[in-house]
Amino acid sequence: MATVIPFLILFPLVMACLMFVIRNNRVRGVAAYLGSVIVMIGVGVLVVQWFLAGAKPVELFIETEVADHVILASEIVLMVVVTCLCFKYKKYWISLLSIVPTLLIAYLELFGPEMEPTYHIYLDHLSILMCLIVGIIGGLIVIYAVGYMHGYAHHHSEFQDRRYYFFMLLFGFLGAMFGFVTSSSLLWIDLFWEVTSIISFLLIGYTKSSEAITNSFRALWMNLLGGTALAIAIAYYAYEAGTVTLQQLVFEGSVGSNIALLPVVLIAFAALTKSAQLPFSTWLLGAMVAPTPSSALLHSATMVKAGIYVLFRLAPALSGRTSGLMVAFVGGFTFLAASIMAIAQTDAKKVLAMSTIANLGLMVACAGVGTAETIWAGIFLMIFHAISKSMLFQDVGATENTLHTRDLEAFHGLIYRLPFLAMVQFIGIAGMFLAPFGMLISKWAALRASVDERNILLVFFIIFGSAITSLYWTKWMAKLLEQSRAPKVKDITKLNEKISLGIHAVMMIGVCLLFPLLSSSYVDPLLREMFGNAEQVLPTATLVVLIVIILIVFAVPAVSMAFGENTRTNIKPNYMNGINDGTDYGFISSYGEVQHMHVSNYYFAHVIGQRKLMLPSQILSTVVIIGMICVILGGVL
């Protein structure tokens, strides 16, 4: 393990450089395939090794003199890069958000108190899970990206083709992510944190259009703000406690030590920015201008989960405290508000983004409550969300390449026009909210846990939020199924994209089927690790029922469709008040012409659109956050 982890961190960096160097698209593509396969194998090896070692928490790298220096140097390099870019685009004040924390960390490292030597890498169930998500989904997305970016460069000739740069960032990101989830030292975490923020920033600005640049700087300052909070927390904690180990912090927090109070709040705050919780949700929406693979990878499947990961880690320290309440409130509220706003979105990617924010909110809320039950729910939310969102993003990207639009209304009757992509979308959406799939079970558990915790606000948030969630998903699915006259389009999705999508779909269904196994053999130990003891969350009876539902949901339409083929059915035209144009697709309008029939979904953009609701929700959540922090500070100081 001691070799695999550095390999996982460094190999992608090497790949990144390689990507930058290779300017031949074909060669780079092959290299990218190889790289991602190797990353996946690496993760596999890590997991196997860890299991062979007994699947127990592992602590590594006590002495890391050299690495620490490298880390410090990298931080400063990053600072310089960010500052230069800020000056180039005349966003001077943002550079402060980079300079201040970096200098703070540098000062801490060079002149700060002597810290007792501890491990820097920590591997437990949670980190392994994160590694798996990053490795497998990340690898698949890279494979997908090779095909996707080909089409993208072709369609968007108005932008400079900088694929080498794009792949460099993707691989760089993978390395940083591995570093992030395995590190235990807060200093290391801080660096990787900053790296992911900046890569995200660069990817958002990939097209260099003015919109992209505005959005990327918005993402940058919000993430850097979180980074600043993180740096302050580290410095404070280092001075107060003389250590910068996350595990130590969590332990102290969970026993209620006063020293840990402030750092925990600040780190939680940082996590909220990273997970795009209100009031910081806008950056994630803006991030949708980036090419789809980066949306899939960074902005839904992995990077935003870094915040969740940190919160899960902090959960024992949050549970039952004001800080936990704050986090739970912000999460729950984000879940509700983002769900409402998702209804009004017509852009498929924006719907996905809103739903991502909403689901992250739910996970944040789970972490905020911080009991074994909610973490169980949160973990499953994370797994299902990662798979299905990555799948949906990729699918929407591929659909966009074929249809040249990602307006939901253009997805009318997609199931007849692009059967494969529509089917995958269908599975992905079903995974997000339909009964047998995991998201729903997680909601079930989250609801139960919040009742157990007597957190009435959260109960309301979940109940109303999930009611609303079903609206926009059902709407989308219905749109796919609607009958359409539009001609069948040629599916230009590349094989590699299809492979990635197919594996995702199989994973989705697989995880559903293996759900009970996963729960008992992996998540329960994880919870035991975190909370000492944890009983089984899901009763067996419910599990059995679940399996039956899965069978029904898949079998019945298939069987009845097979039967349907053999019955003689009279096909009648639609009901249109008796004035069809002779087909299902149009009618004679008032002016005596044929009017094409296209039934649009409901969006209510003027009532509950982002424009209307975003500002009030931001204000409300800001007030809550500031208020709660004041209360906590009042307790500390």
Partner 1 sequence: MGKVKRSPWLLHYDGSSCNGCDIEVLATLTPVYDAERLGVENTGDPMQADILLITGGINEQNAPVVKQLYDQMPRPKVVVAVGICACTGGIFKDCYNIRGGVDTTIPVDIYVPGCAARPQSIIDGIIKARDLFQKRSDEHDEYEKTHHGGAGEEKING
Partner 2 sequence: MARKTVVPFGPQHPVLPEPIHIDLVMEDEKVLEAVPNIGFIHRGLEGLADKRDFNELLYVVERTCGICSFGHGNGYVQAVEKIMDVEIPDRAKFLRTIWAEIARMHSHLLWLGLQADQFGFESLFYEIWRIREKVLDLLELTTGGRLIFSVNKIGGVIKDIGDDKMKAILTNMSSIEKDMRVVQKTFMGDYSVQSRTKGIGVLTKDQIHELGAVGPVARASGISRDMRKLGYDGYGMIDFEPITSVFGDCFARIDVRLREVFQSIDIIRQAIDKIPQGELSVNVKGNPNGEALVRIEQPRGEAIYYVHSNGTKFIDRYRNRTPTFANLPALCEMLKGANYADVGMMVVTIDPCISCTER
Partner 3 sequence: MKFDTARLIWIIGYLVLAPFIGGLLEGFDRKISARMQRRVGPPILQPFYDVQKLFNKQTIAVRKTQFSFLIAYMVLMIFTGAMFFGGVDLLMCFFVLSTAATFLIFAASVTNSPYSAIGAQREMIQMMTYEPAVLMTAVGFYLIRGTFDVDRIARAGSSAIVVLPGFFFAFVFILTIKMRKSPFDEAGSHHPHQELVKGITTEMGAKNLAVYTITEWYENVFLLGVVGLFIVNRNPLSYIGAIVVILLVYFLEILIDNASARVRWQTMLKMTWGVTLLTAGVNLMMLMLIYR
Task: List residues binding partner 2 (CB under 8 A).
Answer: 346, 405, 407-410, 576-579, 587, 589-592, 595, 597-600, 602-605
Q: How far is the CB of 375 from partner 2 (least distance, A)?
A: 40
Task: Decide whether 334 or 402 has the Cβ nearer to ligand SF4.
Answer: 402
Task: Decide whether 419 or 573 has the Cβ nearer to partner 1.
Answer: 573
User: Under a CB-based contact definition with an 8 Å cutoff, are residues 268 and 298 in contact?
Assistant: no
590 binds partner 1 (CB under 8 A): no
Question: Can you give the binding site for partner 3, defined by CB under 8 A?
Answer: 434-436, 440, 444, 447-448, 451, 454, 456, 459-460, 463-464, 466-468, 470-471, 474-475, 477-479, 481-485, 539-542, 544-546, 548-549, 552-553, 556-557, 560-561, 564-565, 567-576, 584-585, 597, 599, 601-602
Q: Which of residues 150-179 bind ligand SF4 (CB under 6 A)?
A: 152, 155-156
**How far apart, in whole angstroms, are the C-alpha atoms of residue 529 and residue 126?**
9
In b/e form, how buried is each residue of 305-339, taking b as 16+ CB within 10 angstroms? bbbbbbbbbbbbbbbebbbbbbbbbbbbbbbbbbb
User: Under a CB-based contact definition with an 8 Å cutoff, are residues 46 and 1 in contact?
Assistant: yes
Polymer length of the chain: 637
Q: Which of 351, 337, 32 is nearest to 167 (CA)?
A: 32
**How far apart, in whole angstroms, are the C-alpha atoms of residue 205 and residue 634?**
40
**How far apart, in whole angstroms, are the C-alpha atoms of residue 330 and residue 625?**
8
* Coil, strand or helix at 533: coil
Q: Residues 387-406: x/- map of binding to ligand SF4 (CB under 6 A)?
A: -------------xx--x--
Task: Decide whether 65 or 158 has the Cβ nearer to ligand SF4.
Answer: 158
Task: Decide whether 578 or 634 has the Cβ nearer to partner 1.
Answer: 578
Write the CA distances from 614 to 4, 9, 283, 360, 618, integer angstroms: 44, 38, 12, 17, 6
Task: Decide whether 576 or 620 has the Cβ nearer to partner 1.
Answer: 576
**Residue 3 Cα to chain centre, angstroms:** 28
* Coil, strand or helix at 594: strand
* Coil, strand or helix at 386: helix
Contacts of 342 (CB under 8 A, 6+ apart): 351, 354, 355, 358, 468, 469, 472
Task: Please choose which of partner 3, ligand SF4, partner 1, none residue 400 contacts, taking the beta carbon within 5 to 8 angstroms, the exact cut-off set by kind.
Answer: ligand SF4
Q: How far is the CB of 154 from partner 3 (least distance, A)?
A: 33
Q: Which of residues 538-577 bind partner 1 (CB under 8 A)?
A: 565-573, 575, 577
Task: Please choose which of partner 3, ligand SF4, partner 2, none residue 564 contacts, taking the beta carbon within 5 to 8 angstroms, the exact cut-off set by kind.
Answer: partner 3
Task: Please choose which of ligand SF4, partner 3, partner 2, none residue 481 contacts, taking the beta carbon within 5 to 8 angstroms, the exact cut-off set by kind.
Answer: partner 3
Q: How far is the CB of 416 from partner 3 (least distance, A)?
A: 10
Task: Decide whether 152 or 206 has the Cβ nearer to ligand SF4.
Answer: 152
User: Under a CB-based contact definition with an 8 Å cutoff, are residues 500 and 484 in contact?
Assistant: no
Q: What are phi and psi of 580, to 5 degrees?
A: -55, 155
Task: Decide whether 404 or 596 has the Cβ nearer to ligand SF4.
Answer: 404
Task: Please choose which of partner 3, ligand SF4, partner 2, none residue 557 contacts, taking the beta carbon within 5 to 8 angstroms, the exact cut-off set by kind.
Answer: partner 3
Own/partner long-range contacts of 80-84 (Cβ < 8 Å, ≥24 apart): 81/198, 82/198, 82/220, 82/224
Q: What burial class does residue 602 get, using C-beta atoms within 10 Å of its C-beta: 0-12 exposed, 13-18 middle, 19+ buried?
A: exposed
Candidates 495, 578, 591, 637; binder of partner 1 (CB under 8 A) is 578
Q: How far is the CB of 488 from partner 1 (least distance, A)?
A: 20
Task: Please choose which of ligand SF4, partner 1, partner 3, none residue 578 contacts, taking the beta carbon within 5 to 8 angstroms, the exact cut-off set by kind.
Answer: partner 1
Residues that bind partner 1 (CB under 8 A): 565-573, 575, 577-580
Residues that bind ligand SF4 (CB under 6 A): 152, 155-156, 400-401, 404
